[in-house]
Chain A
């Protein structure tokens, strides 16, 4: 059975299903992370003493990871543009770079986590550490999800380029929107947790 509006735009919304679905999903994600940012504010103003991020976290490493994630967002959008130009080889190069940068981000984050654990800076040892682990942990899970989706679209999923090109480009666009959102969250997480 053919699902309608996978490529064509729906007459009522002017969007295809993929685009409408991913934007609704991102709206729910904004509320998920918004709830955590709200909790952060509540915990911070409710505490008489709040440590500076630099007391626990490594600013150069955090800055490096920010650059890595922004870089992955750039390669992601270039992968989408390559598909629009009909260049599958370039798409694969850029999408591959996006995945590698995401893995690098996770490796650096894992090193940071390992450093925290070895210094006994666990979530149970303070409110700041609890919210730090929660927010960066949830963000890390989103990175893992993004790697899985992008990995599929880079590998087996890319065969669709030859059979249903428009639908494939829509899928990559949706994956890109998700990936830029993950980058967006980090753009706010970094100063809030590391610098303030």
Chain B
């Protein structure tokens, strides 16, 4: 944001509108949590609202919408990439079955036949 008086005053108007939108978003977040929906859908709804509110904060309060510095944009792009990697860790952990004992359907067949013979 430059020091131009008119521009700063215009920005103040935008800040107040964003403040109103964040207030409405907070009320909607709480009301949406009372909807009788499956957990997965509730998570999606809550995250969409939180992402919208978060984007407003980052874009207007943190002035990212008018940021032209490549250093900041690349830093944030890299951060977002590694953040997604972090979020993938639980998924990778869940899908990793290395070291988990696995019993084959006929694994004890030879022993049970031997027991029957006795």
Residues on A facing B (Cβ under 8 Å): 13-15, 19-20, 23-24, 27, 30-31, 34-35, 37-38, 41-42, 45-46, 59, 63, 66-67, 70-71, 73-74, 76-78, 81, 84-85, 176-177, 180-181, 183-184, 187-188, 190-192, 195-196
Given contacts A74-B15, A77-B61, A196-B39, contact A42 B89 (CB under 8 A): yes
Q: Nearest 7 CB-CB pairs, A to B?
A: A195-B33, A42-B90, A13-B71, A191-B46, A27-B79, A74-B19, A41-B90
Closest B residue by C-beta to A192:
B46
B58 at interface by CB-CB < 8 Å: yes
Chain A contacts for B86, CB-based, 8 A: 31, 34-35, 37-38
Closest A residue by C-beta to B19:
A74
Within 8 A of A (CB), among B8-44: 8-9, 11-12, 15-16, 18-19, 22-23, 26, 29-30, 33, 39, 42-43
Chain A contacts for B62, CB-based, 8 A: 176-177, 180-181
B87 at interface by CB-CB < 8 Å: yes
Output the least CB separation between A20 and chain B (Å): 6
Q: Is the CB of B54 within 8 A of A84?
A: no
Output the least CB separation between A164 and chain B (Å): 15
Q: Is the CB of B15 within 8 A of A77?
A: yes
Interface residues of A, dominant DSSP: helix
| Interface band, chain B | 35 or more
B1 at interface by CB-CB < 8 Å: yes
Residues on B facing A (Cβ under 8 Å): 1, 3, 5, 8-9, 11-12, 15-16, 18-19, 22-23, 26, 29-30, 33, 39, 42-43, 46-47, 49-50, 53-54, 57-58, 61-62, 68-72, 75-76, 78-79, 82-83, 86-87, 89-90, 93-94
Chain A contacts for B90, CB-based, 8 A: 38, 41-42, 45
Closest A residue by C-beta to B51:
A188
Q: Is the CB of A81 within 8 A of B8?
A: yes
Given contacts A73-B61, A187-B57, contact A85 B79 (CB under 8 A): no
